[in-house]
Amino acid sequence: MGTFLFLKGTEVSRSIKETMIKNIAALNSSGISPSMAIVRVGEKGSDLSYERSIIKSCESVGVFAKLIVLPEAAEQNDLEEIISELNQDKSIHGILVFMPLPEGFDNARIRKMISPEKDIDGMTDSSIAAVFSGVGFGFAPCTAQAVVEILKFYNFELSGARVCILGRSLVVGRPLSMLLLKENATVTICHSKTLNSDKIARESDILIVATGKMKSVGKDFFADGQVIVDVGIHFDSDGKMCGDVDISAAEDVTAAITPVPGGVGSVTTAVLISHVVNAAMQKM
């Protein structure tokens, strides 16, 4: 394999947690215990895996996680009542609802119900508006922010950098473009209808891959010395975790790259918990 610098998420997460621990100590001295509510409907495997990761991270820094589970057969009203109660509960600083919800639930309505100041996953219209306008208070979607945290931790110069993002979702691609513009990067978003996206990708200093398709990006997209961030999480036919990037195709390219697993995903969880702490600090 080529000379890669693996941009390991564990180091970034550790740095984020160190800052969190200091802030939590300040909160505790003021009588505030940062707390979040995790709301899950059903028993989807990916939700359970993320849930375990969040609870473990919360325990490691001293954030309380309240778990609320509804059966898949629950009704929209049941979930809406829980969200309303959590919005009013002053001891809860952040609310996370696992999306997408099972069939029959109105995802958009639930997103809109969450109080913006408790929207630690950046799902509400108010949060998105704040990220795009730079005005008002709102947390960025955690995965988008995790990408920026990784690039800044490893000291990659973002100001003036040419960044190509493959993917235009409202969870990663679009909000990430706003976060990078704030860092004075020059950003191009490519999507399924973009012509010559491989050529555009090769011309970038930093390539961020969020296609949502397993190993969909190969050597035609890479350039020597490029920094590659792989946002994807999939499981191949052998049950092995992999990303949107075909990493074997990058063997001859000298680059820095985030591994899967151990890259963006681990930082995403740390960012989520940091949002809980920051939401609690707003109450100070």
Domain membership of residue 128 (yes or no) is no
Integer Cα distance of 114 and 80 in angstroms? 9
Same domain, 180 and 258: yes
pLDDT score recorded for residue 41: 96
102-121: average pLDDT? 95
Same domain, 179 and 226: yes
Confidence band for 251, pLDDT divided at 50, 70 and 90: low
- Encode pLDDT of 235-249 as tens digits: 888 888 889 998 887
Pairing of strands 206-209, 186-190: unpaired
Same domain, 111 and 149: no
Integer Cα distance of 211 and 245 in angstroms? 9
147-155: average pLDDT? 97
16-20: average pLDDT? 96
Domain membership of residue 4 (yes or no) is no
Domain membership of residue 217 (yes or no) is yes
Percent of the chain topping pLDDT 70: 98
Taking a C-beta distance cutoff of 8 angstroms, is the pair 147, 264 a contact?
Answer: yes
Which residue type is seen at 224? D
Token digits of residue 185: 């990067």
Domain membership of residue 92 (yes or no) is yes
Residue 1 in this model has a pLDDT that exceeds 50: no
Neighbours of 56 (CB within 10 A): 11
What contacts 140, CB < 8 A, 6 or more positions away?
122, 127, 131, 175, 179
The whole domain housing 52 covers 31-115
| E strand spans, the chain | 4-6, 35-41, 64-70, 94-97, 162-166, 186-190, 206-209, 227-230, 234-235, 241-242, 255-257
Stated pTM of the model: 0.93
| E strand spans, 141-267 | 162-166, 186-190, 206-209, 227-230, 234-235, 241-242, 255-257
Same domain, 150 and 254: yes
What radius of gyration do the chain's Cα atoms show?
Answer: 19
Average pLDDT across the chain, whole number: 93
